Structure 1
Amino acid sequence: MIKLPSSIYNSTKLVFIVMISLVLVFILNNVWQFISHIDELSFSKDSSLVTSDFSYTIDRDNSLDIKTLIKNKESKALFIPSLANDIPYELGHQSYWVKININNNTANIQSVVLHADNSRLAFFDVYKVNAILESTTQIAQQKPTPEQETLLDVFPHVAFDLLEKSTVQVIAHIKSNGPPNIPLILYSKENFDKRTDYVQMTFGIFIGIMLLMAAYNFVLFFATKDKVYLVYIGYLLSAFIVIAGVTGYGYLIFSKQIQYIIHEYSLFLDYFMIFFLLLFSLYFLRYDQIKGKFYRVGLTSCLLLILVAFYSLTLDQIAQTKLFFSIQPIFILYALFIIFRRLSKDFAWARFYFISWLPFLAGAAIQPLVLLNYVDSTFITRNAFLFAVMIEITFMAFALAERMRRNEQDRIHDISYHDFTKLPRKSMLENAMNEMKNSGENDFCVLIIKPEHIEQISLYIDDKANAALFKRLSRRLSSLFIHNDAIVELSSNHEKICFLENNCLAIIVNHEKNQQDLPILIKSIQQLISETFQIDDLKLPLSAVIGVANHPEHGSANYLLINHALLAVNDAQLVYGRWAYYQSEKSDHTSYLLKLATDLKAAIEHNTLAIYHQPQIDLKTLRVCSSECLIRWDHHREGFISPDIFIPLAEDLGLINQLTLWVIKRSLAQHQQILVNNNHMVSINISGKDIAHEHFFTNALSIIEESGIAAEKIILELTESASISHNQQSLELIQKLGDLGFTISIDDFGTGYSSMAQISHLPFQELKVDRQFVENVNDDHKRKTIAEATVKMAKGLGLEVVAEGINSQEDEDTLRSFGCDIGQGYYYAKPMPIDDYLDWLASQNNGRTQKRIDLDGEFIPADKI
């Protein structure tokens, strides 16, 4: 594909916009000329053909009749001269008598039509007055055809002839069931027919646009399941029905009965139009996705509108009108407020929707004023709302299209950019590699940068701080790469750095453009990253480990190249310079581990793993008080595989939770056998990764409940306490386990990331001192001091203390003297399969170990905290 230069593209785009704008201006000008011409069809005040003068009287109690008005001279004085547009129609129950003197100024017979431009008339009676005989004749149409009857409903009118050079006086008795304004307009028969044709054509265009928009958005709703399209359809239909009632075009498409219902409930339907408009604003501007206070207020307002709508049905028409026009501005102002609030932030793309409100507000203001007789009636002003809605829904359609385009951009952005860091994802790295290969540039490498010890650092900071760290790293590296053409751009925004999910950054180096040796570039990167970074109050001197994989030497497929660079990162942690190329011979070990992981999953599913029990001894009574359950794997091909190999493998590949649940289930099943003749507890290991798993709590509880073993008999030994110390959800889960009666123990204290600072604010009841501080404790003064201090600090915190690694009588005596509660180690017994362990228990003296039986007392577990 040939790409145009940006200057040519922008110029072409500008020319296209100008051309489209000119076409639109031309169309709008012609439409305006056409609409304006409709008002010119009537007889004007200065017409040379037919002139007229108007006078009126208001029948407030509806007591006048035509005979009285003709024969009673005092009644004749009731008529007040007025221009046709100045008759003061107003809301109320009164009717109006309008006298019209019509002059034919020509020597020809003129066919004249008197049109009452209000489709909601209670009656429209027109009388021709014979001044000499003081009598009247009611002007009536001949029996109309169904088509003529429909036109009479939409365009109430009477037709009559004017003799040459004559004057005719007619009196019209009129009353509206809806808007009070009833413009009376005189036309020639020919021009009236033209007017009805033009108006019907206008109505037809409007109806067609509304139905087409509704059908199209109905399809979009089913395609996208986005509720905004359904709400938009609701607005289209409600506006369609409301305008059908106001203009009367509903007679053209509905039955009379339906149109009468629309007339009767026109204000009630107006509420629904505002309801859908407000709801559309909430969904269009995505307030429903935030679900904040503005969304709740908006939904409450919508509900209030419906309630007020139903309440208005109990009021008369005048009270309904006053209520609607009193509260309508409140809801419109709220809709405008939430629009402006969005526009002022990050929704500049919603400009079309804002523009759509301008004609709506103009039409919503002008047409009621015309209908209430505050503004002169013309075809444009009387149908202002219809035209406003036509323009409004056009801009709303543009707004929805722009919204769809922006949604697609956001979707692509979400696919392309990481949520927290806002840096390009791996997919953009792969796209850049594809572009290089397609253009014949095959000599490049993937370089992956990982801050050293980032996993440990991540345990102490939240996602926000972690994202801020990588953003800062990216900015600093971008400043280093900005003028380096060898670093390949990943996006049109000239971004060169990609973020990978495992806390790594990645770049592509084009060897053909690289003017410096790769080790020099790597050293520059490491030097930049080694500068001190600050997260909150913590200053971190970061270093970087870097892995490199060359194309095509280390892989031609993108995913292989990235994976091999990641493997090289692991190797880089073991070498002096902290960077390394991928070494293919080491991939054999990786393949071995993946095969081992597959076998491990199968072993879990087929129950071919084993649980071994190592007894734990109360150092006061020497009774066996519990056993720790330890997992063992005798591989069918590899033989015995150490837990130090397969447990980290399970953690890395996401099998640890499945493995732990298997251990819990198997351990409790075996503990049921132990409890038949022995009263002791069972100790099961779980990790911080288990606690963090979404469904661990419910799955573990389900297994424990099925076993029937009381929580008070179960000790849960938790490793990696640092991984949960800053995780509120994990802390709450541990607290729940403690509240349910489980004893929570912290395992391997003194190693890894465990510390007294951790224990002081975590809900544990037991502490287990690691074997490296217990084994041969008397042989090393420092080790003995650490062990003693640890036990005493733990006892001071009210914790029960378990010492693992007791291998001699001297170890036991020393730990007992420190105040240690429970001992575990080879001095008592090695881990054993369940059958051997049951035999071992049976060989004890009344539950006491045979090592020493000169002590007395009972084992009393520490109080639960």
Structure 2
Amino acid sequence: MALLFLDLDHFKRVNDTLGHEAGDLLLKSVARTLTKSVRGNDTVARLGGDEFTILLTDIQSPSAARKVAEKILQSLRSPVYLEGKEVTITTSIGITLGPEDGIHANALMKYADLAMYKAKEKGRKNYQFYTSAMNDEVQQRVRIERELTNALENREFLLFYQPLIRIHDRKVVGMEALIRWQHPERGLLSPFEFLTVAEETGLINPIGDWVLRQACQDTADLHRDGYGDIVVSVNLAASQFRDAHLPKAICGILDEKRVESRWLDLEITESMLMENTDQVVATLRHLKALGVTLSVDDFGTGYSSLSYLKRFPVDRLKVDRSFVQDIPDDRSDVEITAAIIAMSHKLNLQVVAEGVETAEQLEFLQQNGCDICQGYMFSEPVPIEKFRQYLDEQKK
């Protein structure tokens, strides 16, 4: 036998954009598709929300389960029309086999669930078979979660800063705060090595709060010591941004650290803008009322368009490094980046280019009127002490 665990990808967006009635209609459509994809003696069940399970009985090999999973993925590619709009849904599928993987129902459900999350990690809209290594990954996540909690208590986190350069005069006008973890055994860790676990376990909020406080403290110290109007950019996690108390918390931090609101730039990603448009706009307006700057990070990697951004009260757009890295050799990137800069200015948005590494890239950005840039051409992210040294060197 085989047990398939399915979780619909980005189902929440359907509820948020079209309403819960449309979401219910989509779930019914998916249920019909799943039922048509299996045999009469197989069982399809909805666990709740956007999760389904399928029990395949009397299968002789993993390839039979694989064929069912592939059939489901293929069948779901056909669009569904809801509220007069075309909607396409995909799913991530985890597969476990019995009795090879186990005989107890609870264990098989756990294994199928683990495999489903592996499918999510692999980019969604695919299937993965359970392997014993997935248990090891879970144990590793539990260990990292415990160590992250200790890291907060033991002050093991550090902030590194990358300069933001105003292109027309090469002046340092800001810095992006980037977290690092000084792990007692594994050394200095980048955020890619621990933030995913922090997000999944809810630790991202206290970590994000620490980042905001430390970044504001470092910025206040810079201004106190006469380093000019440096603005600090801080990345917000999705769960932070969804927190209704965020504007009040930021207001409190600004007062506590004696930082003017105009010295703080909050970065949010495209995908965060798409989650619940009305709520997003309300939150952004509350933040704007504080006087902080708002930036859309990694633009071009998500779902929004420049015309879509008109509805959001944001100030800056950060062009993702993937568009910059092959300039001037890649003509498509050249045309896209030039268009983004031009259209952003028509919307009264400043443009920040990420990942600038060569003089040719900088020259292109300057010729096309890009406002600000950052990248290894100027400096890698460095601790605050080295950032101060960088500022001192620029004055010479």
Please, what TM-score do these two structures have when normalized by structure 1?
Answer: 0.42
**Corresponding residue number in structure 2 for 1:678:** 227
RMSD: 3.1
Any idea what the Cα deviations from partners look like across 1:767-795, whole Å, max 9, x if unmatched? Answer: 11112222352233222221111111101
Q: Displacement, 1:668?
A: 0.9
User: Are positions 1:508 and 2:55 aligned together?
Assistant: yes
CA drift at 1:743: 0.6
Q: Does 1:467 align with 2:15?
A: no
Amino acid at match of 1:448: F
CA distance in 1 between counterparts of 2:357 and 2:73 reads 47
3-state SS of paired residue (1:616)? strand
1:459 CA displacement:
6.7
Contact 1:530 1:544 in 2 (8 A): no
> 1:479-523, CA deviations, whole angstroms, 9 ceiling, x for partnerless residues?
677x83442xxxxxxxx512345x32113344499xx95455545
Read off the aligned partner of 1:842 and give its amino acid letter.
D
AA paired with 2:199?
E
Q: CA deviation at 1:458?
A: 6.5
Q: What does the per-residue CA deviation read over 1:722-765, in whole Å, with 9 as the maximum and x for residues that have no partner? A: 54464312210111111221110111111133431331211101
Within a 5 Å distance, the mapping from 1:534-573 to structure 2 comes to 534-551=81-98, 553-555=100-102, 558-572=105-119
Q: In the alignment, what sits opposite 2:181?
A: 633
* Cα distance in 2 between the residues matched to 1:789 and 1:770: 14
| Conserved? CA contact 1:806–1:812, under 8 Å | yes
Aligned residues: 391
Partner of 1:651: 199
Residue type of the alignment partner of 1:672: A
Q: In the TM superposition, what is the alpha-carbon distance from 1:678 to its structure 2 partner?
A: 1.1
User: Hey, what does 1:448 align to over in structure 2?
Assistant: 5
The answer for the alignment partner of 1:585 in structure 2 is 133
Amino acid aligned to 2:330: D
Does residue 484 of the first structure (1) align with residue 34 of the second (2)? no
CA offsets, 1:682-711, max 9 Å, x none?
Answer: 111113332112433333332222111111
Contact 1:724 1:731 in 2 (8 A): no
Q: Does 1:596 align with 2:144?
A: yes
**Contact in 2 for aligned 1:688/1:724 (Cα 8 Å):** no
User: Where does residue 343 of structure 2 map in the other structure?
Assistant: 793
Match of 1:687 in 2: 237
- Which one has more relative contact order, counting CA pairs under 8 Å at least 6 apart? 2
SS in 2 for 1:744: strand
Contact 2:3 2:96 in 1 (8 A): yes
Structure 1 residues 512, 631: closer, same or farther in 2, change over 3 A? closer
2:128 & 2:51 partners in 1: Cα distance? 15
1:460: Cα distance to partner? Answer: 4.8
Q: Aligned runs of 1:642-791 on 2, under 5 Å?
A: 642-676=190-224, 677-679=226-228, 680-724=230-274, 726-775=276-325, 777-791=327-341
Q: Is the 8 A contact 1:547 1:565 kept in 2?
A: yes
Determine if contact 2:296/2:318 at 8 Å carries over to the other structure. Answer: yes
2:357 aligns with 807
Quote how far apart the aligned CAs of 1:632 are.
1.1
2:140 and 2:233 map into 1 onto residues whose CA distance is 32
Task: Give the Cα separation in 1 of the matches to 2:206 and 2:180.
Answer: 15
SS of corresponding position for 1:631? strand
Unaligned runs of 5+ in 1: 1-443, 488-495, 851-865
Identity %: 28
Contact 2:42 2:56 in 1 (8 A): yes
Q: State the 1:445 CA deviation.
A: 4.2
3-state SS of the aligned residue for 2:194? helix
Cα displacement (A) at 1:582: 1.0
Q: Distance in 2 between matches of 1:815 and 1:717?
A: 21
Q: Distance in 1 between matches of 2:35 and 2:371?
A: 57
Over 3 Å counting, the alpha-carbon distance change for 1:557 and 1:655 in structure 2 is: farther
TM-score normalised per structure 2: 0.87
Asked if the contact 2:271–2:302 (Cα under 8 Å) also holds between the matched residues in 1, the reply is no
Q: 1:541 to 1:717 in 2, by over 3 A?
A: closer
Alignment partner of 2:302: what SS? coil
Corresponding letter in the other structure for 1:678: Y
Q: Distance in 1 between matches of 2:303 and 2:201?
A: 22
Question: In the TM superposition, what is the alpha-carbon distance from 1:555 to its structure 2 partner?
Answer: 4.3
The residue aligned with 1:821 is 371
User: SS at the partner of 2:233?
Assistant: strand
Letter of the structure 2 residue corresponding to residue 669 of structure 1: Q
Task: Output the amino acid matched with 1:546.
Answer: I
Aligned counterpart in structure 2 of residue 613 of structure 1, from 155, 161, 181 = 161
Task: Give CA deviations for 1:811-839 in whole Å, capped at 9, x if unaligned.
Answer: 22221221111121112211110111122
Rounded Cα–Cα distance in structure 1 between residues aligned with 2:34 and 2:345: 50
User: Relative to structure 1, is the Cα distance of residues 603 and 466 closer, same or farther in structure 2, using a 3 angstrom cutoff?
Assistant: farther
Relative to structure 1, is the Cα distance of residues 460 and 655 closer, same or farther in structure 2, using a 3 angstrom cutoff?
A: farther
Q: Does 1:837 align with 2:387?
A: yes
Whole-angstrom distance in 1 between the partners of 2:256 and 2:271: 28
**Greater C-alpha Rg:** 1
Alignment gaps of 5+ in structure 2: none
1:40-55 matches, cutoff 5 A: none
Q: Against the structure 1 CA distance between its residues 694 and 549, is the aligned structure 2 distance closer, same or farther, given a 3 Å change threshold?
A: farther
Cα distance, 1:544 vs structure 2:
4.4
Distance change in 2, residues 1:467/1:635 (3 Å)? farther
Secondary structure of the corresponding residue to residue 317 of structure 2: strand
Instruction: Give the whole-Å Cα distance in 2 for the aligned partners of 1:461 and 1:725.
Output: 12
- Structure 1 distance, partners of 2:93, 2:34, is 14
**Distance in structure 2 (CA, Å) of the matches to 1:613 and 1:589:** 31
Report the CA distance between 1:462 and its aligned residue. Answer: 4.0
C-alpha contact 1:775 1:806 (8 A) present in aligned 2: yes
Q: Is residue 79 of structure 2 the alignment partner of residue 532 of structure 1?
A: yes
Q: Which amino acid aligns with 2:5?
A: I
Following the alignment from structure 2 to structure 1, what is the Cα–Cα distance between the partners of residues 270 and 109? Answer: 30
3-state SS of 2:348 partner: coil
Alpha-carbon contact 1:687-1:720 (below 8 Å) kept = no
Counterpart AA for 1:595 = R
